[in-house]
Structure formats: structure tokens, C-alpha cells
Structure 1
Amino acid sequence: MDLNKIFKTPNPIIGVVHLLPLPTSPRWGGNLKAVIDRAEQEAMALASGGVNGIIVENFFDAPFAKDQVDPAVVSAMSLIVERLIQMVPLPIGINVLRNDAHSALAIASCTQAQFIRVNVLTGVMATDQGLIEGRAHELLRYRRELGGEVQILADVLVKHARPLSSPNLTVAVQDTIERGLADAIILSGWATGSPPTLEDLELAKAAANGTPVFIGSGADWENISTLMPAVDGVIACSSLKRHGRRDQPIDPIRVSRFVEAARRSYAPKAESPSVSSVSVPS
């Protein structure tokens, strides 16, 4: 995966737009315009704060379908992604939770989004939705059929899940890349808002052997200076929201603080002051 080609930087910072409940989800409110308006506001907040890319995710559709989502979800997400692509000059990615990578790839192909996130590409994970099996063999063939160049960012030992086999991080990373053909990998903590350890990031980076490694959860303005130098990019959301609460909208001030801290973490030390001087709004 050529990060410079997609994100125009070797160390991209990707923000996440958590969509309000979509049609057919338990908390769907019946007003798609409200969902679109919120998505547009959050995308603009992320863009103005300086992120290098955005992932659109049906986060508030919980409890999630294990694999295939309802066609109404695909339709709504396609409409929203198309709107955001017209609004913000940033690469857009898609994550259809819990693990509907085929729908994500279809949306991306039709809207010309550049990448998708796949929670389980290879292996078997025990989750709150039940057992989820990776379907890399189907997904990669589907991408070939669609004829696009949508990049696949795949989680390794994804959060809110446990592997059925031995959780050997090095083997999991290598299998995801070499046998699942992921274009980049994502490493998270055990849950939303929980960061991976520096040791795990370093292990994953070594095992990836040149394939980009992203932090997938738990990065904030305080820990990013420690974690960012070990990886190639970061995906952030909870820490960018008002008061750091995942149910709140994106706060552009928090975004800019996080982006500044992340950029300082891999800038030459002689050119940048310490990240400790960065303050964060309450």
C-alpha cells in the first residue's frame, strides 16, 4: 500500500465518522437527513482539524449483524459516502460493521472511495455477535471482479473479540498479509478507546515486513507521541469527540490538538517542541 499515493503523506492520520443509527437498526430514528447532516458536520470538523483521511462507519447500528447488513444500510451509507466525497478533499474509507467487507467494498467501488476496513479478514474470532470467520478468499476475488483498486486495511486480533486459536501476534500479522493479502494492517487494544501496547505495535511492525501498520483504537493526544513512531499511521475517533465521549460529535479543536501532537511525534526533534506542551480542551 502506497501511503503517499493515497494520503499524500507517509504517516497518515485518519479520523472516523460514526454514523447515527441507519435504517433497520434498533435505534433508527426515521430521519435520514439528520444522519446525513451529522455526517457532513463531522467530516468537515475532521478535515478542518487536519486529518489526512476519513473512515465512515455504521458505529451506532449496534447490536451489529455478524456479517451481511440489510440493503437499506448499504444504500444509506452509499448516499452518505457520495456526499462526503463531494464535500471534503480527503481520501474516504468505509467500515461496515460488524464484518460486512463485501458491502464495504461494493460501496467503495461505486463511490470511488479509496479503502475499506475489515475487522476479520482471516482466522476465526469469538465476538459478541458469535463466531466470525475471515473470508479473504471471497473478498479478494470480489475486488478483482469489481475491477477497482480499493485498498484493504485489515484488523489483526480485532478489538471486542478473542481468537479461537493461539493469539500469536506475529503469526496473525504474517497470515493476514501473506495469506489474506491485506494491503495494510490495524492493531487495536481490547476494546473501543483502548490503545495497543507499544510492545505489540513493535512486534506487528517487525512482522509486517514493510506492509503499513496502523493504530486502530485508543490513540489520544497524550499517548500518540509514544505510539506513533512505532507505526505508519493512526485511526482515531473517541479522543477527537467532545469531552472525549464516543456518543458526542467530533470536536474540531480536539482534532487539531491530536493532529499537532501526532505530527510532532515523528518530526525531527530539532524542529519541534515537546508534545507535553500541547493542551487539550475539556
Structure 2
Amino acid sequence: MFTLPDKAVIACVHLPPTPGSPRYGGSVDHIYESALGEAEILLRHGVDALIVENFRDAPFHPRSVPVETAATVAGVTREVVRLSTVPTGVAVLRNDASAALGIAVATGADFIRVNVHVGAVLSEQGVLTGNAHETLRLRRALDSDVAIYADARVKHSQPFVYTDLATEVRDLSQRADGVIVSGELTGLETSPEDLLTARRVTRGPLLVGSGVTPENLPAVFAHADGFIVGSYFKADGVPGNAVDEARVEALMDRVRALRGSDGPRTDRTAA
């Protein structure tokens, strides 16, 4: 499996609405141009990984996405992989892990993000259930080493199965290659207390999944192995806006400063 640099910044490449989604603008070319243009900006400022997401397709299908969505995400992901000089992942929202894994294998991507991998939650899409049994068997059947990063207490949801974060993280650690802890909603700060709870019960890669800014990064920097950044990189910090290069530069400058004060970087491999 690929090696995730310690304190890695994983930048989101949020696709414009894809064909079939309510806000699709009618141009597939625009989707490709937007994704590749934003990926170039992010790479220029030294992000450590990219993740392609059909973020602007809301309202999302709760489980399997239609073929036109999967096809568009796959096509764009392949172009981003070809452009990228860093590991690249894919997330198919809201929770189509099979599509994400198939796309990753077919496009040469390195990892996927799964919102609900174990247990079940009540979300704005209804009840979402984890399908770790299917996803792990599919990965074996495809003879793949694509890493699976999965959310604990995923945002925009309430858990049905796990009454405490620590128990969910323990289970996830047995079924995923890395754990993601986020705030309650997109763009909201991840609780340092939740991060510490997760850190105590997992030795594998632990990522902050939302809300990172140059101002709050020091509070979580020491306890996380990486940071998924979407909203902060957008104009005015609004997740639906385009990438703002000045904000990318500001956050990456802060990360580099903290890396310098935190000692030498190490690599953590998804296992």
C-alpha cells in the first residue's frame, strides 16, 4: 500500500455537479477543466495528496450512485491521477464504497474514503449502513492494495450502533487502513477531544476530516497523521466556491512552519 507522509495535507478536488445531478450545468468539459485546474493550484503549493469527490452532486444518493455518476468520477479521477505527482484518492458520495474502490482500481488511484464503513447512522439521506464485508471482499477479489480510509462519527449523521467514539474507532481500525475524525457538519472544526479519544485507541493512520484552518491547526497537529482540507481552500471558506490560491498558500505555509517545529517528518504506511 502507498505511504502517507506524516502530517499530510490531503486536498479535496470537488467536482462541479455531474450529469444527472440536479445542478448539472450541461458541460462535461467544464467538469474536467475545473477539476484539473484546481488540482494544479493545489499541487503547486505542495499538498501531499489529492482526493476527488462528487461533492456538488447534492442531494446525494444514499448508497449506489447511477452509472453516469460513476463514469464521470472515473474519467476525471484518471486525468487527475495522470496529472498528480502525489497520492490520489476518490470518494463517491454519499456512501458508494464499491464504486469508489472500482474507480480507484481502474484509474490507478491510491486510496478511497468511505463515510460509513461499519455500523449504521441516520443521515439526511436516511439510514446509511456500513458494508465493510462487501468492500473488503471486493478489494480481495480485485487483487487490489487500494487503501480504505473510513470516517468515525461521520458528519451530517447520528449513530445507531456505537454509543461512544472509542468503540467505533476500535472496530474501524480492524476493518480499515486509516480512521477519519471530523466535525458535525462540513467545514466545522474537528474536536481536539474527539481526536485524542481516537488517538488513544488506534495505532494506524488517523486523519482530521474537516474544519482545518491556519488558526486551529496547532490544536490538532500533534495528534493527527494527516488533514483532509476542502472548505478552507475555497473562496471565503465556502465549500461550494472555487479554490482560492491565497488560502492554499496560507495553510500550507502554516503546515510547513509546524512541521519545522515538530521535528523531522516520518512516513506512516496504510496497513
For this structure pair, what is the TM-score category when the shorter chain's length is used for normalisation? over 0.9
Instruction: Count the aligned residue pairs.
Output: 264
Partner of 1:279: none
Q: SS of the residue aligned with 1:15?
A: strand
Q: Which amino acid aligns with 1:164?
A: F
Q: Taking structure 1 as reference, are residues 172 and 269 closer, same or farther at Cα in structure 2, changes over 3 Å only?
A: closer
SS in 2 for 1:162: strand
- With structure 2 as the length reference, what TM-score do the two structures score? 0.94
Shift of 1:270: 8.9
**Aligned partners of 2:147 and 2:177 also within 8 Å:** yes
What SS does the corresponding residue of 2:109 show, helix, strand or coil? coil
- Distance in 2 separating the partners of 1:197 and 1:94: 25
Instruction: Please give the residue correspondences for 1:88-107 in structure 2 after superposition, counting only pairs within 5 Å.
Output: 88-107=84-103
Match of 1:137 in 2: 133
- The Cα of 1:263 is off from its aligned counterpart by 2.9
Once the two structures are superposed, what CA deviation does each residue of 1:142-165 show, in whole Å capped at 9, x if it has no partner?
A: 000111100000000100000013
Deviation, 1:267, is 2.8
User: How much has 1:264 moved relative to structure 2?
Assistant: 2.4
**CA RMSD of superposed structures (Å):** 1.5
Tell me the secondary structure at the aligned position of residue 31 of structure 2: helix
Q: Which residue of 2 aligns with 1:128?
A: 124
1:6 paired to 2:7: no
CA contact (8 A) 2:104 2:146 kept: yes
Name which of 34, 38, 45 aligns with 1:42: 38
Q: Distance in 1 between matches of 2:95 and 2:134?
A: 13
1:214 is matched with 207
2:54/2:91 contact within 8 Å kept:
yes
Report what 2:268 is aligned to.
Answer: none
Query: 1:274 is matched with which residue?
Result: none
Give yes or no for contact 1:229–1:265 (8 Å, CA) kept in 2.
no
Partner of 2:269: none
Give the TM-score normalised by the residue count of structure 1.
0.90
Distance 1:28 1:198, change over 3 A: same
Give identity over the alignment, percent: 37
Equivalent residue for 1:195?
Answer: 189
How much has 1:73 moved relative to structure 2? 0.7
Shift of 1:269: 6.0
Q: Report which structure shows greater RCO (CA 8 Å, sep ≥6).
A: 2
Could you tell me whether the CA contact under 8 Å between 2:119 and 2:162 is conserved in 1? no
CA distance in 2, matches of 1:109, 1:259: 29
2-structure distance, mates of 1:160, 1:270: 35
Residue type of the alignment partner of 1:222 = E
Q: How does 1:1-282 map to 2 (within 5 A)?
A: 5-7=2-4, 9-178=5-174, 181-208=175-202, 210-268=203-261
Structure 1: gaps of 5 or more residues: 272-282
C-alpha change, 1:144 and 1:32, in structure 2 (3 Å) is: same
Q: Measure how far apart 1:261 and its partner are.
A: 1.1
Matches of 1:141 and 1:270 in 2, distance apart? 39
